Amino acid sequence: MRPQKYLQLRLSLGHLRLASCVFPLVSVLLLSGCAEKQVRVRPWATAIAVRPHLVRPLPTTPPDLPEIEAPELTLQFPPLPSPLSISRQPVRPRVPAPPAPEAAGSNKPSAPSLEPELSAQEVAAAQQQINDSVMIARRNLDAAKGRSLNPTQADLTSKVSSFLQESKLAARDGDWTRARNLAKKARVLSEELAASL
């Protein structure tokens, strides 16, 4: 069996050598082109002896088609303005207007406050409601601190903190109604956050 494999290997190597020699020769012959199809160049002096190949004139238009006249088109342009009428002005720079000077004696009164005036009992009740709402909201925020939050829960956390901060500022300014409303919003959102945990 061994001599047979050797013989097959030797034959395949022989074919490979033959193919490597024949392939370049064939490709050279194919790429060189055909010797008989060369274009004959005629000298200019003999060009008179060559008869031209005349082509019969094409028929003009078929007789059965009616002749259609094209409409007469005229281009109308507006008259150009006279170069004497064009006046060029430099572009004005844009500068902010200077502030109007205020008169020394004309101090405007401050805008009236639109918040309702609360009695002492209503202020005490509002402060109690604010404190309760803030305490519940902070407790719910503390419950969410150590956990990994999804984007909705993180958004709720930031809104609750923002409402608590605004409620604190409104209470500092004495706007108890606004402070109470902001604290209630913070409490409601914090309860929604606690329910989603």
What confidence tens digit (pLDDT) does each residue in 35-49 have? 566 666 767 666 666
pTM above 0.85, yes or no: no
What confidence tens digit (pLDDT) does each residue in 120-142 have? 788 888 888 889 998 999 898 88
Structural domain boundaries in the chain:
120-196
Structure tokens at 110: 């401050």
Question: What is the C-alpha separation between 189 and 160, in angstroms, rounded?
Answer: 6
What confidence tens digit (pLDDT) does each residue in 94-125 have? 777 777 666 555 566 655 555 667 777 888 88
Question: What is the C-alpha separation between 159 and 151, in angstroms, rounded?
Answer: 12
pLDDT level of residue 183 (50, 70, 90 thresholds): very high
Residues of the chain above pLDDT 70, percent = 61
DSSP per residue, 80-144: PPPTTT----PPPP--PPPPPPPPTT-PPPPPPP-SPP--HHHHHHHHHHHHHHHHHHHHHHHHH
Residues 6+ apart with CB under 8 A from 45: none
pLDDT at 94: 74
Interval 78-82 mean pLDDT: 74
Interval 59-78 mean pLDDT: 72
Interval 74-86 mean pLDDT: 72
Interval 10-37 mean pLDDT: 71
Radius of gyration of the chain (CA): 50
Interval 170-192 mean pLDDT: 88
Averaged pLDDT of the chain: 75
Of residues 98 and 176, which shows the higher confidence score?
176
Interval 77-97 mean pLDDT: 71
